Amino acid sequence: MVGSIEVMSRNSYLNGTVQNHNGLEEKLDELRRVLGKADGDLLRIVGVGAGAWGSVFAALLQDSYGQFRDKVQIRIWRRPGRAVDRATAEHLFEVINSREDVLRRLIRRCAYLKYVEARLGDRTLYADEILKDGFCLNMIDTPLCPMKVVTNLQEAVWDADVVVNGLPSTETHEVFEEISKYWKERITVPIIISLAKGIEAALEPVPHIITPTQMINRATRVPIENILYLGGPNIASEIYNKEYANARICGAEKWRVPLAKFLRQPHFIVWDNSDLVTHEVMGGLKNVYAIGAGMVAALTNESATSKSVYFAHCTSEMIFITHLLAEEPEKLAGPLLADTYVTLLKGRNAWYGQMIAKGELSLDMGDSISGKGMIQGVSAVGAFYELLSHSSLNILHPEENKPVAPVELCPILKTLYKILITREQQPQAILQALRDETLNDPRDRIEIAQTHAFYRPSLLGQP
Q: Minimal CA–CA distance to 195: which of 65, 98, 300, 284? A: 284
Q: Are 72 and 28 in contact (CB under 8 A)?
A: yes
Cis peptide before 223 (omega within 30 of 0): no
Beta carbons of 323 and 410 less than 8 angstroms apart: no
Rounded CA-CA distance 414/411 in Å is 5
Query: What is the rounded CA–CA span in Å between residue 313 and residue 430?
Result: 11
Contact call for residues 323 and 450 (beta carbons, < 8 A): yes
Contact 39, 70 (CB under 8 A): no
Q: Tell me the sheet residues that pair with 272.
A: 249
SS3 category, 289: helix
* Catalytic status, residue 286: yes
User: Quick one: three-class SS letters along 208-249?
Assistant: EEECHHHHHHHHHCCCHHHEEEEECCCCHHHHHCCCCEEEEE
Q: Strand 373-374 and strand 368-369: pairing? A: antiparallel
Burial (CB < 10 A; 0-12, 13-18, 19+), residue 109, is exposed
- Active-site residue among 37, 71, 197, 286? 286
| Closest CA relative to residue 317, chosen from 391, 380, 407 | 407
As annotated, the active-site residues are: 286
